């Protein structure tokens, strides 16, 4: 689960930071993020419902830092980035809906991941 969170958070952070100043259509912006969160769930397996929202939250924080640094490199007076394309915000009440959606996407991804590659339990032989 740790590897899933780290990989997904880093990937999403760069996605948020690099697409923030661009006019990316919302379907593409959120579709890629949803696909990354689904993959986080597949990798985490049963823990997908936990891994996806944690990865989303970390990615928003790290993406905000990267985007702010990119903006300030060209315009030093730029305020810190606290929302991405007006769709996802770091403010408390607004971030709850994307986190709830990430729980659902991660849970579905985890369910698919467990069906594709069941987790091995110590001392329990694999099912045939």
Closest to 61 (Cα-Cα) out of 80, 75, 87, 47:
80
Structural domain count of the chain: 1
Model pTM score: 0.84
Query: Which 8-state DSSP code applies to residue 89?
Result: E
Residue 74 forms part of a structural domain:
yes
Residue 123 forms part of a structural domain:
no
Residue 105 forms part of a structural domain:
yes
Residue 69 forms part of a structural domain:
yes
Residue 65 forms part of a structural domain:
yes
d(CA 21, CA 24): 9
Residue 103 forms part of a structural domain:
yes
Residue 6 forms part of a structural domain:
yes
- Residue pLDDT tens, the chain, 128 long: 899 999 999 999 999 988 888 888 999 999 999 999 999 999 998 899 999 999 999 999 999 999 899 888 888 888 888 888 888 888 889 999 999 999 999 999 999 998 888 766 665 666 66
Tokens of 98: 């994307």
* Parent domain of 99: 2-116
User: CA torsion, points 86, 92, 96, 98, in degrees to nearest 10?
Assistant: 30
């Amino acid at each position: 689960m740790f590897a899933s969170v780290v990989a997904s958070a880093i990937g999403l952070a760069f996605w948020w930071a690099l697409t923030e100043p661009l006019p990316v259509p919302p379907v593409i912006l959120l579709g890629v993020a949803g696909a990354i969160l689904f993959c986080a769930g597949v990798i985490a397996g049963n823990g997908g419902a936990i891994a996806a929202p944690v990865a989303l939250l970390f990615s928003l924080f790290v993406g905000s830092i990267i985007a702010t640094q990119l903006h300030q490199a060209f315009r030093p007076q730029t305020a810190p980035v606290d929302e991405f394309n007006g769709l996802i915000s770091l403010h408390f009440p607004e971030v709850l809906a994307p986190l709830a959606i990430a729980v659902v996407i991660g849970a579905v991804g985890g369910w698919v991941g467990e069906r594709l590659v069941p987790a091995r339990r110590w001392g329990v032989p694999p099912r045939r």
